[in-house]
Amino acid sequence: MGLAMDVAGLNGFIERAFPQVAGQIRVESLDEVLVARLVVDDSHLRPGDTISGPAMFALADVAIYLAILARIGEVALAVTTNASIDFMRKPQAGRDLLAECRILKLGRQLAVGDCLIRSEGQPEPVARCSMTYAIPPGRG
């Protein structure tokens, strides 16, 4: 699978198209696997001194979306049509989260991706997510 966008292009796209998450989620690296970081702050925490499920879900959703765009180019209207997430262990508070995303299938109308989320510096995943995206007709 060739790449249509690089790390700088993806981060620039997020800044332009989704400024509400631009300071929080960024692409760290990209090859067959896209690695995205959630810069964790107090707004991502929940009682029990852990990172909230919605924050982890948002990281997975944005990261898989970006992994798809890395292959198809800037298609802002690609949308999530299915999502499943397993929360496997408590994330480390005070550590950023890293999402490692793979595109499992890239078709003309649908793309399927998988994501493992880890607390930075920890080998065990804290969550696993699988998502399907609808790709609008007429993409580049």
Domain assignment present for residue 62? The answer is yes
What CATH number is given to the structural domain containing 117? 3.10.129.10
Domain assignment present for residue 14? The answer is yes
Distance, in Å, from the CA atom of 45 to the CA atom of 59, rounded to the nearest integer, reads 14
Alpha helices, DSSP H, located in 2-52: 7-17
Domain assignment present for residue 140? The answer is no
pLDDT at 76: 78
User: 90: how many CB neighbours lie within 10 A of its CB?
Assistant: 12
Instruction: State the residue range of the domain holding 84.
Output: 7-134
pLDDT at 139: 59
Domain assignment present for residue 70? The answer is yes
Q: Could you read off the pLDDT of 95-129 as tens digits, one per residue?
A: 999 999 999 999 999 999 999 999 999 999 999 99
Query: Based on the structure, what is the number of domains in the chain?
Result: 1
Least confident of 20-29, 40-49, 51-60, 114-123: 40-49
Domain assignment present for residue 105? The answer is yes
- pLDDT of 57 higher than 60: yes
- pLDDT of 22 higher than 80: yes
Q: Could you read off the pLDDT of 70-103 as tens digits, one per residue?
A: 999 998 788 999 999 999 999 987 899 999 999 9
Domain assignment present for residue 1? The answer is no
Residue closest to 64 by CA, chosen among 15, 125, 115? 115
Average pLDDT, the chain: 93
